[in-house]
Structure 1
Amino acid sequence: MDAGAIGALIPIFALSIPIIAIWTRHKTKIAEMQVHTTADATAERAAQYASQVQALEERVRVLERIVTDKGYDVARQIEALRDQRRVDESDSGVSIESLRKERV
C-alpha cells in the first residue's frame, strides 16, 4: 500500500469508531427494553395465573364443604327419591320402560 491509501484509511477508521459506539449503545438499549417488556408480560401472566388458582382453590373449598357437610344427607335423599319412584311406579302399574317405548 502506498502512503496515499494509508492516509485515506486513517480518517475512515477515526470516524467509524464513534459510529460503532453509537450503534452498540443503541443495540444495548433495545435489548434492555426487550428484557423489561418480557419481564412485564411474564409478571402479568403470573398475576393472572395466581388469580385463577385462587379462584379454583375457593371453588374446591366450597365443593369440599358441600361434600363433607351434606354428602351423606344428599345420598340418603337421592335414595329416598328412588325408593319413592319405585313405589309410585308399582302403584300406577305403568313402568318407565313402557313409557320410553311409547315415545319411540
Structure 2
Amino acid sequence: MNPFEMVVAIVVVVMIASVIKARYKLHGGDGDPATARENARLRQEVDQLKDRLAVLERITVEKENSLAREIDDLRNR
C-alpha cells in the first residue's frame, strides 16, 4: 500500500466514524435511562431556578420603584 492509498483509507475511516458519531448523538446519545432521568431532573431544576430568578427580579424592581416613590414623597413635603 503506497502512502497515498493509506491517507485515503485514513480519511475514509475518519469520515465514516464521524457520520456514525453524528447519528449516534442525534438519536439520544448512549440511551442510558439513568442519564436521561438525570437530564430531565436537571432541566426541571433549571426551570425552577429561572422562575425563582424572575420573582427576585420583580421584587427588586418593585422595591426600587417604591423607594424612589418614598424619596419623591419626602422631597415634595
In structure 2, the partner of 1:89 is none
Residue number in structure 2 paired with 1:34: 48
Q: Provide the rounded CA distance (Å) in 1 between the counterparts of 2:65 and 2:50.
A: 23
Runs of 4+ residues deviating >6 angstroms: none
Bigger helix share: 1
Please tell me the residue identity of whatever aligns with 1:39.
L
Which residue is equivalent to 2:36? 22
Matches of 2:50 and 2:33, distance apart in 1: 26
Q: What is the aligned-residue RMSD (CA, Å)?
A: 1.2
**2:66 matched to 1:48?**
no
Quote the offset at 1:36 in angstroms. 0.6
Q: Alpha-carbon deviation of 1:62?
A: 1.1
Q: Which has the larger radius of gyration?
A: 1
Show the counterpart of 1:80. Answer: none
Percentage of pairs with the same residue? 4
Unpaired stretches in structure 2, ≥5 consecutive residues: 1-30
Q: Which residue in the other structure is 1:8 paired with? A: none
Corresponding position of 1:68: none
* TM-score, length-scaled by structure 1: 0.43
Unaligned runs of 5+ in 1: 1-16, 64-104
